Structure 1
């Protein structure tokens, strides 16, 4: 049964790598990604999220390969880190970045236990507004369902209003020339971005594209992998009627060489 699953996943990955983008397909290591997603060592709670996140197909679309240095943004729950760690292998590295506002004692202890068995994983925490990422460090970065929060503010979590351009300046500097940033987020309507984020935790993909291109990135691909036409973009993403089933865009940005 497991061999059949792996075979089906390989086929799906080949489709994702070859047909999901309007740009030329990027070379991917399909068997490596397949094995990382299918690994029996993954957290059962994280595996349950695979149905809505389609990690194997998404990482094939982004071009994940062994030996890469990967930034997993907002990744303290280690959903992506456990896949990245296996896929990049011992010659690669995974750096999780987490805002200090969400990195309390329990999160710190849980992540330490996770990283103790994965020598190629490390974590960096800094205030939300100032990601502590060294320049020219990463081949690949993933922002999964979090970029919209750069437009968010919260007195409860001590998050002041941020300037997306300043935030993305740090992200741009952290990528190696030719590096890829993948952005997955909940599709939101056009309008006042800060108000929409506050109300719905969604964002207009056109805003994301404009932000990244203004920062110097080039749109390198777009995938319909996570789209859901049944979502009318009117509900808060945490509403039980739509949670885990939101319409999501997946964009691949490249830092020019």
Structure 2
């Protein structure tokens, strides 16, 4: 065994202990009594406390919620990370400037550590290496979607992931939940028809962007789901088969 000199030992003892980050208090955040009733109704199917625990959200994290929509996960995360943390809720500008603004403005009024960022879908702009934790819930497939009706432009998935990679801190986490599509087929055509995506496409895209698959959970899988149905079909809505991935940006 290598001996440690007295001077070296004294220096080691004098060094401050490295603080270990504590898990975010997600259960308390979900249980908050002033969350919107419409959000609470989604908890049973989305299982946010278990999802965020698996993904590893921590107190004090700086988090980014992509395609935030009504701010469902942004609100839970803002409560869970505490006042020393923060959440940026990103929404494509055309959705935010439409019916989303009032809902998200109410969210930021309730929670001072929550902030809204709205940019064009084709030009997401995030601060460099700003976020410890990124969430994409049921919307990564939209990087392959376009709609004249909803004024949603054709995105470049590689450019979108490049922007996310640049915004994530080294060692940071990106959590992805999405509706499962059957393997094969043209991704854009499948997304247009069903709003689902082949999990293999997600994994390949993130690997190409430089992320590492750090974990996968069956928490939201549903083998009874009919993968040929549109996710908004009443027969499957809220009960689709969903993958849950934890990707990590390499620390070095």
State which of 138, 144, 161 in structure 2 corresponds to 1:168: 161
Structure 1 residue corresponding to 2:224, chosen from 225, 230, 241: 230
Structure 1 residues 109-118 or 198-207, which shifts more? 109-118
Partner Cα distance (1:38, 1:99) in 2: 29
Structure 2 distance, partners of 1:110, 1:56, is 22
Give the gaps of 5 or more residues in structure 1: 1-26
In the alignment, the residues of structure 1 paired with residue 243 and residue 107 of structure 2 have an alpha-carbon distance, to the nearest angstrom, of 29
Aligned to 2:16: none
1:108-159 deviation digits (Å, cap 9, x = unpaired):
1222122112110100000111212111010001000000010111112233
1:84 Cα offset (Å): 0.8
Aligned to 1:208: 202
Secondary structure (helix, strand or coil) at the match of 1:104 reads: helix
How far apart are the structure 2 equivalents of 1:73 and 1:128? Answer: 11
Kept in 1: contact 2:179–2:242 (CA 8 A): yes
In structure 2, the residue matched to 1:219 is 213
Q: Report the Cα distance in structure 2 between the residues aligned to 1:30 and 1:179, rounded to whole angstroms.
A: 15
Deviations 1:180-226 (A, max 9, x none): 00000000012211110011000000000000000000000000000
Q: Which runs of 5+ in 2 are unaligned?
A: 1-19
Larger Rg: 2
Equivalent of residue 63 in structure 1, options 44, 56, 65: 56
For residues 6-63 of structure 1, give each alpha carbon's deviation from its aligned partner in whole angstroms, at most 9, with x where no partner exists: xxxxxxxxxxxxxxxxxxxxx9856711111111121111011011100000000010
Tell me the TM-score normalized by structure 1: 0.86
1:122 to 94, 102, 115: 115
Question: Which segment is superposed worse, 43-52 or 157-166?
Answer: 157-166
Alignment root-mean-square deviation, CA: 1.5
State the 4+ residue runs in structure 1 displaced beyond 3 angstroms.
27-31
Secondary structure, counterpart of 2:25 in structure 1? helix
Following superposition of structure 1 onto structure 2, how do residues 134-173 of structure 1 map, counting pairs within 5 Å? 134-173=127-166
State the distance in 2 between where 1:114 and 1:33 align: 17
> Aligned ranges for residues 101-112 of structure 1 at < 5 Å?
101-112=94-105
Q: Output the CA distance in 1 between the equivalents of 2:173 and 2:23.
A: 18
Alignment: residue pair count? 231
Distance 1:109 1:199 in 2: 30
Give the structure 2 partner of residue 97 of structure 1. 90
CA distance in 2, matches of 1:99, 1:35: 29
Q: Secondary structure at the match of 2:110?
A: coil
TM, length-normalised to structure 2: 0.88
Contact 2:24 2:80 in 1 (8 A): no
Q: 1:192 aligns to what? A: 186
Cα distance, 1:106 vs structure 2: 3.9
2:170 matches 1:177: yes
**Aligned twin of 2:78:** 85
Is the 2:21–2:59 contact (alpha carbons within 8 Å) kept by the matching residues of 1? no
